[in-house]
Structure formats: structure tokens, C-alpha cells
A and B are shown apart, each in its own frame.
Chain A
């Protein structure tokens, strides 16, 4: 990162300044290919296959005037995307579960999941649907490849629509000093959130989730809340960095988080959490499903909500824990809809916030747990039981580490609940030596943490 990012941004900036727009885009595409292939070269094959396939189908859809033929090609395109994702990500899960019903031994070759396959598959599906609906033209292969492989977003989003990003890529005059400033600020905040705050929570979470059989009540709650903050700071940190890098290229990537833990309802939570995925669920899953009904009732809306969230849960990974996570959120969203439309009792703000936050935190136990057994053990420990106050953390972690984790966790909690959001900080930036020193310090402290033993991968890299 230390060499790659400055070189790529400087090269792009130089080419844009020299009015070499085409070369700048070539440079961006090459950088994205290098970034993607860096971890495992063979992953690139899947990305290229996906790009070629979707570009070709989009071209056919654009050239076809007959509606039913267009629809057939769209269905084929979506089906192929689902097949690609299903084969690489879900084949083992499906066959393992089928083997419980039909006891046949399942032996599948170990396939490395291509980086960001869940994310770029969603972008491809959105692209095909937008082409089908005539919202965007079928782009050139070069443009389509640049859009899909754009390196800040390819691994974990934010999920962009073609018309949001590609138009900017084609028309950009290059980054200005102002967009670079915004990018630097967001990148510094994101990096700090990830490597300093999220990874500190991760240490607590990993320690406790490795001993779920003997959890005391206090440990279970500590792990639950610590993971709630870890995943937010980790993923929103990544998103800030991606948006920041986008700005360094002069591109505005859509926002992904808007202080979700301040939400007072689960509907509001999903309007603030992983916003680009929420939009995809609403526009490309929920809406088409609800359109299948001639008359929409609240019950039908609730059923569709649960279905859409089940799919969204499964999208995160081939595990029953993710399915349960999606189901719980679908159920909560349905209850929220019924509450709004039928019950209509206004709860005190603090109570509704508390209920929302507690629900979100407990649902994340399923998201974090490696299997359902661990999830149930952890959830069981949250309930009052014999071992309520016992903690052996001090025997495993030294006083120095406990002090360090406490301070950093407090900063993380305060930032999540009370502080301004990253985009507010970037927009409200005062240009002064003091703020330059502050953001440079954020970068330096983050580099220090990155060079230490406590580093963790981004959680969403696994998806």
C-alpha cells in the first residue's frame, strides 16, 4: 500500500494533467488488474470471465429490440452470474447440507474464493438490469472492465452503479487539489478506524469467542458489544478508505455508512448501514419480488422482506449463521413495518434506540460465530446464568494490554455514538496547519499499528 497507492495516484494525476484521459484510464485499469492479481493470480481469471460474460450479454440486450428476447437474455445473464457465484462460493455448502438428507460422501476440490466475488457479481447484476431497463447503454469492454475492476471498490465495495461511476471515469478531468484533500482526510480516518480501533476490538472479540464454552455473562456481553463496534469500524473504515481513494482519482464513490448505531429503528438502521447493499436489496430484490403480487398487503410485504433479507444474509457467506442473521433482520424489519403501520405506538427515543442497538448487537453474534453451536453458546451466556461475573481476561491479557484496549475501545465507542461521521469531518475540514498535523498524525499512528502484531484482515474481504 505504501508504494502502490502513491505511485498509482501520482501517475493518474500526471496523465490527467497532461490531458491524456485515455491513457489515464488505461493506467487506472492496469493498476486495478495488478491490485486484484497481487494476492492470487488465478483470481484474475474469474474476474475476467465475469467481465467478458456480462459485457457480451449487455451488448446483446442493447442490440435486441424484442422485449421478451431481451428478458430472456437478462434472465440468462443473471442466472450465469448466480451460477458463477454459486459454484465458487456455495457449492460446498449446498452439497454438504444435501448430504445430510441423501447420505452420499461429498468431495469437492478446494477452490479459493476470488477476492470480492460477491461484490462484483452484484455490480454485474445491477449493470445487466440497468441495461435491460434502458437506464444505461451497454458500455465498451474497456469502460466496463475499468468500472468493475476499479481497485478501491472491487474487494468490498461500496457497491456502485454503472451510471454513478462510469460516467465520472469517462468525463473526469482528473483529481483537483480539493478532491485530493477530501480523499486524504477520508483515507486517514478510515485507516485509523480500521487498524487502530477495529483491530483493538478484534483482540477482545477473538479472545472471548475462542472460549465460548465457559463464557460468563459479562464476557458474553463484552464480546457481543465489542464485535458490534469491530465490524462497524472495520467495514466503515474500509469504505472511508475506498471513498477516499476514489476522491484521489477525482471520482465520487457512494457513501456506505451514516452513523448506523444512532438509529432508533431497524428500518432506520438499514438506511444507515451498508447503504449500497441496502439499496441493492430494495431496488433489485425487494421491489421485483413485491411486483410479482397483484395486490400488495402488509403481510405480503413482510414475507418479501424476510425473503430478501434471507438472500442478503446468505450473500454474506455459505453458512447457516449468515442465513440466521438475514432471517433475524428480515423478521425485525417486518415487525418494524407492522409497528409503524398497525400498532403506531410511539416509543421514547432512548428506548427505541436501546432496543435497536441491542437487537443489532445480538444479531451480530450469529454473524461472527463460526457455526450455530458457538452462536447459541454465546447467546445462551448472554442470559442470566450461574457464571455471571467471572472473567479470566486479566489472566490471559496483561495490564498494559488491558489499559491500551480500554482507551482505544472508549475512543471507538464514543466515535460511533457521538462524534461526527467521516464524511462530516471531511466536509467540515478547516484548512490549517493544525488540521494537517492532526490528519498526518492519524496516518502515522495507523502506520505504527499496521507494523505491529495485532493486525487483522478486513472482515468483508472474506465475502
Chain B
């Protein structure tokens, strides 16, 4: 073989194998980022960073094409089944271990493609803690070939072969097998940096024309009693991020009695989402106000 032939071989192999790999990934479309995916169902696989990658990449195409609303939160609301909401089709973009910085990435992309979404902002101290999964810098390109994609194929294979259960539904609900941590202490102090991130995200959604809803998720009774004042201060400050016409659903009110721990049981999560449904129904029937900027 001559040097020239060797060089051509290397270049051709890269182009042919690389091209074939890209085409295969485009065809499998595991993240639903390519083509018209209206009416199709895609479910995340795996927890932690993998869930984040799935939900982030879903925000490019799958969520804007199939949903009218988005709920952002942490593991606290990750197991809430938003398919139970009757009047609006909401995707649960909550992330196990997620913070506002992670939610921001999803909201930013969704609003780019569907600015008039209903965005439910879960208000919980864990959301304003300063950490994140980082940024999937390559964005949509990661769906064409990346380590994250390999991880997704690996999980898909495990699921298809019956080695692992499918824990997510196509609405993004992560169906925990059971309550994993009973009374998990959460730092209620607000980190100023993340508070600002939260504020800017609410403002960004509002100015993009989205309908903004706040949702104060239930705090386990013993935790709430232990830190009553701190929680009250926290919620008072967070409530001020929302305009008077933007509804805030407070599931810590006296009319609710959730007896679960930090993460809710299946029954608790069902009760919580049904309570949200009732409130949204009421507002919808009155005509949920659009953003004044829309």
C-alpha cells in the first residue's frame, strides 16, 4: 500500500463509518430531536445525569411539539404523573438531583421553540441550592454521536432485554419504586446566586410570553414544624418573584394533609398532582391569565 492510498483509506473510513453512525443515530432518534415527532411517545431512561440529558434533548423537539406545559422541579416532584392533569398537557421536566440551573437549560430551549407554554415553577428550597449537572454544551449535536448517546443505547438495550424496568413515562414522570428517603433535611437558606437565577428564569419565561404558575410542593410535617419560620421566610421571598396575576398553588396549606416524607409515595404523588389539577382547572375555567407581555 502506498502512502497516498493509506491517507485515502483513513479519510474514507472516517467519512463512511462516521457517516453511517450519524445516519443510524438520526434514524433511531432516541431523543426525539429529529423530524416531526408529534403524537409520538418518548420516555427518558436512567436517573441522574442521564435523565437530565434526555429531558434536555427532549426540550428541542419532543416537548414543544407534544405538550402545552412544562413543570420544572427536583426529585421532590419527579414522580408526579402530569398525565393526570385534565385540561392541559404538561411535561414533567423535574430532575432527580436537579436545581434551577438545570431547569433553566430546559426552559430556555423549550421557550425558543414554543414561547407560549404554561410553565409550572416548583418552589422548594432544594431548587435554589447551588449545584447542577453542568451543561450539555454540544446541545442537539450530542444526539448524533456522544458518550451520552451510548449510555442511552446501553440503557435502552437493558430495558428491551428485560434487565431493567422502565421507570419513566412519556410525560417525564419518574416512578420511584418506593419512598427512598424519609426525612431528608434540606438547607432552607437561599443562596443569592441561585435565587437570582430563579428570578431571571421566571422573568425570562414571562417576557417570552409563557403563562407562569408557581407551585409550592408539600414539605413533610416534621421538617416543616422543625423549621417553620425558615420555611415561611423562604416561601414569602419566593412568592415575590411571581406577579399578582400569576397563580401560586400552595400544597402546604391547611386544606391539605400529605403525610409522606421528603419524596412522596405513589399515593401521595397522585394526591398532590390531583390537587394541582383541581387548582389549574379552576383557573383555566376562569381563563388563566396570559403574561401581560405576551
Contacts and interface: CB of A to CB of B under 8 A. Distances in A.
Interface of A: 176-178, 180-181, 184, 188, 398, 400, 404, 431-433, 435-437, 439-441, 443-444, 447-449, 451-455
A176 B2 CA distance: 12
Nearest to B4: A177
Interface of B: 1-7, 9-10, 13-14, 17-18, 21, 48-49, 134-138, 141-142, 144-148, 150-151, 154
A431 B14 contact: no
A448 B21 CA distance: 10
Contact of B10 (A400, A439, A449): A439
B6 A436 contact: yes
Contacts of A433: 1, 9
20 contacts: A177-B4, A181-B7, A188-B10, A398-B48, A398-B49, A400-B154, A433-B9, A435-B6, A436-B1, A436-B9, A441-B13, A447-B18, A448-B145, A448-B146, A448-B147, A451-B144, A451-B145, A452-B142, A453-B135, A453-B138
Contacts of B21: 444
Contacts of A454: 147
B173 to A, nearest CB: 21
Given A184-B10, A444-B18, A453-B134, A432 B1 contact: yes
Contact of A443 (B3, B14, B49): B14
B146 A452 contact: yes
B151 A451 contact: no
Contact of B17 (A404, A439, A440): A440
A177 B142 contact: no
Given A398-B48, A444-B14, 8 more contacts: A177-B2, A178-B3, A181-B6, A444-B21, A451-B138, A451-B142, A451-B146, A453-B148
Contacts of A451: 138, 141-142, 144-146
Contact of A177 (B3, B134, B138, B151): B3
A-B residue pairs, 5 tightest by C-beta = A440-B13, A436-B9, A177-B3, A452-B147, A177-B4
A180 B6 CA distance: 10
Contacts of B141: 451
A431 B3 contact: yes
A455 B137 contact: yes
Given A453-B135, A453-B137, A437 B13 contact: yes
Contacts, number: 78
Contacts of B135: 453
A177 B11 CA distance: 13
A194 B7 CA distance: 22
A9 to B, nearest CB: 11
A431 B6 contact: yes
A431 B2 contact: yes
Contacts of B154: 400
**Which of B3, B17, B49, B142 counts the most A-chain CB atoms under 10 A from its CB?**
B3
A440 B7 contact: no
A177 B3 CA distance: 5
Contact of A431 (B1, B13, B49, B151): B1
B1 to A, nearest CB: 4
Contacts of A180: 3, 7
Given A437-B13, A440-B14, A181 B146 contact: no
A437 B17 CA distance: 10
A454 B150 CA distance: 14
Nearest to A435: B6
B1 A400 contact: no
A2 to B, nearest CB: 10
A165 B165 CA distance: 61
Given A178-B3, A400-B154, A453-B135, A436 B13 contact: yes
B3 A181 contact: yes
Contact of B136 (A178, A404, A440, A453): A453
Nearest to B14: A440
Contacts of A453: 134-138, 142, 146-148
Given A181-B6, A444-B17, A447-B145, A452 B1 contact: no
B148 A452 contact: yes
A117 B144 CA distance: 37
A437 B6 CA distance: 10
Nearest to A179: B3
**Which of A177, A180, A440 counts the most B-chain CB atoms under 10 A from its CB?**
A440
A175 to B, nearest CB: 10
Contacts of B9: 433, 436-437, 440
Nearest to A432: B1
B6 A449 contact: no
B211 to A, nearest CB: 32
Contacts of A444: 14, 17-18, 21
Contact of B151 (A176, A400, A439): A400
Contacts of B137: 453, 455
Contacts of B150: 448
A453 B57 CA distance: 13
Contacts of B49: 398
A188 to B, nearest CB: 8
Nearest to B16: A440
A452 B18 contact: no
A454 B53 CA distance: 13
Nearest to A443: B14
A455 B154 CA distance: 21
B87 to A, nearest CB: 37
Contacts of B48: 398
A452 B149 CA distance: 9
Contacts of A441: 13, 17
Nearest to A183: B7
Given A400-B151, A453-B136, A440 B10 contact: yes
Nearest to B6: A431
A451 to B, nearest CB: 5
B146 to A, nearest CB: 4
B17 A176 contact: no
A401 to B, nearest CB: 8
A182 to B, nearest CB: 9
Contacts of B1: 431-433, 436
A202 to B, nearest CB: 13
A304 B167 CA distance: 66
Contacts of A178: 3
B133 to A, nearest CB: 9
Contacts of A184: 7, 10
Contacts of B3: 176-178, 180-181, 431
Nearest to A451: B146
Contacts of A440: 9-10, 13-14, 17
Nearest to A182: B3
A204 B48 CA distance: 18
A435 B1 CA distance: 11
